[in-house]
Each structure stands twice: as C-alpha cells, then as structure tokens.
Amino acid sequence: MKVAFFSTKSYDKEYFTKFNTDNVHELTFFEVPLNEQTAVLTIGFEAICVFVNDIINRETIKIIKQNGISLIALRCAGFNNVDLKAAHENQIKVVRVPAYSPESVAEHAAALILTLNRKTHKAYNRVREGNFSIENLTGFNLFAKTVGVIGTGLIGKAFCKIMLGFGCKVLAYDIKESSDLVAKGVVYKSLDDILNESDILSLHCPLTPETAHVIDANAISKMKDGVMIINTSRGALIQAKDAIEGLKNGKIGYLGIDVYEQEADLFFQDLSESVILDDVIARLISFPNVLITGHLGFFTKEAVEEIATITLNNLTSFENNRELVNEVKS
C-alpha cells in the first residue's frame, strides 16, 4: 500500500521503516504538515498517515478524496484534528492508535510534578555554573497531598496508580468510574469538588466540545491558592490567557504543560534562532514557576515502537479488507 506520511521527523522514518517488515507497504515521508495547502502531495497515494498537528478539515478531506486517498491513519490516540463527518461523507476510513504506552505519558506527568516541585532543573543549571546554593529551591512532600485527576482512561489510570504510590490522596472525575481504581483507593467526586480540594490537578481527558477550556477563569477561581496544574493531554483543555492571570495573582502556584492550544506553529521545530511571535506562550515561558515541554510525553522507545506497529497493522488490515479494530467512527 502506498502511504504518505506527514509531519515526520527522523524517529518516524527510523521506527516505521524498521517495523515495515518485508517492505509490505511503500512509505513516503514528508516533513511538512498536512493541510489544505499541502494536500496536493497526496496524489498517487492510497492512504495518509498523520500526527496531532496535521489539519484534516473538510477542505483537506475534499482534496485528498479527489487524489484517491481512502484511509486516514492517525499515529496517535487523539482525533480532534480530523473532521470525522466529512471523512464519513467521502467514504474515507479513519483509524488511530488508541493506546500505545499509557505509562509513558503518565510518567511524564509525574516528572513535571517532581521537576516543578523540587526545582531540579534550576538546581542542575546552578551547579553547572558552580553555584551550589539551595536558596529559593524549597519544595514540598508529595506524600499525603491531594491529587485531582480529570479523566481516568488508560493514561489517567496509570497516573493515578503512580500518585497512589507516592502516598497521595487521589480524587478523580470522569463520566465513567473505574472499579479497579476505586478498589485501589481512588475516590470519584464531582468536577467542582476536584477543583476545590486538589493540591495538584492533572488533566488526562480527550479534547471534546465538552472539555474544551475546562480549565478557565471560572474553574481556576474554585481552586486552592497555589495549586499545581499539569496538562499532558490536549492544549485546548486550558484557556492559556486565564492561566496567565492565575499565575500573576498567585492562584496558580505551578503550571506544567506538555501541550499547548496553538502548538502547531511551535512544537517539533527548532526555533532557537527565531523570534517567537506567539505572545501567550512567550509570557508563559517567562514565569519561573512554569515548565513547558514540547509534546514530549509520548516519546519513549516503547511508545514509538508500539505506535509504529499498531499503525502498520491498521494499514495492513485495511488493505486486506479485515476488520478495522481501531477505526474511529463519526
């Protein structure tokens, strides 16, 4: 099957080529993202493979349909960047990788918490400059703190178990409770209760119309003073401008984000010699109590191997008219 990959990096080429056993698929890698302007590159292909910041809207789908594309393969779990209704209307199937390594993202969320709390990144920089002072590097014990988790899917579950291991009191909010987590001591509560009671709040829910900007000025106002907010899910779960106000007035004591609503023009690129034109993220970067990682949470060896394997299996299943177990339906 001839497949066009978009938004590719060196690791995409490495892992997909490695696991494309016997070259069963003909893979072509494009570094550019897929959108209305680049959709012309899909001519001559049967399927496309896309990532989180590719824009597969109605117009893009119209173009790729005309070019002969019959399958959109997402090499990620989220699918909010795909117009599923338009894909269905154009008889284009959509598949994804629903779970690759929940632990990779959950562990990264824990790393953000520990780094922000114990300020290890600042200590590292000080020591490299010969400064062994620990002034202003005071942290706090995670033990016995209340951790609120919004979303207890596979990643949220893995995160809850990590926090329980630290001896935290874990509260959770989801439309469906996990009996496994309840048995381990996680307490499900209302969203308002989670916001009111949490010392640390971690987001692990998908981006939907209902969850968009779930953390806004109103939600922040209900939180404890000095709360820590962690987001390793989708950038648009947080209204960034409201978070900035919360940081300025001290309501938010720590903010750790691996995702950002306008990340498509920033993340996965080396902009070290460029002027950052996004004033919102520039302001966020300026805070000493904000830690931003550029969509790094998924990026472990185990996760990338699983992403490649499942995506290639999705392609093979489609080509051989087998059941698409990972199909996303409108």
Active site residue 295: yes
Q: CA-to-CA distance for 280 and 266, rounded, in angstroms?
A: 12
Active site residue 88: no
CA 227 vs. chain centroid, Å, equals 21
Q: Tell me how far CA of residue 35 lies from CA of 65, 90, 139, 168, 234, in angstroms.
A: 13, 17, 44, 44, 20
The residue from 263, 283, 323, 327 that is catalytic is 263
Closest CA to 1 of 52, 36, 49, 66: 49
Residues 6+ apart with CB under 8 A from 49: 3, 4, 5, 6, 73, 74, 75, 311, 315
The single residue of 204, 234, 261, 306 carrying the catalytic annotation is: 234
Compute the half-sphere exposure of residue 79: CA atoms within 13 Å on the CB side of its CA: 21
- Burial (CB count <10 Å: 0-12, 13-18, 19+), residue 276: exposed
- Residue closest to 312 by CA, chosen among 45, 8, 17, 34: 17
231 has which bridge partners?
A: 203, 257
**Pick the catalytic residue: 295, 302, 305, 319?**
295
Q: Is 108 a catalytic residue?
A: no
* Catalytic center residues: 234, 263, 295
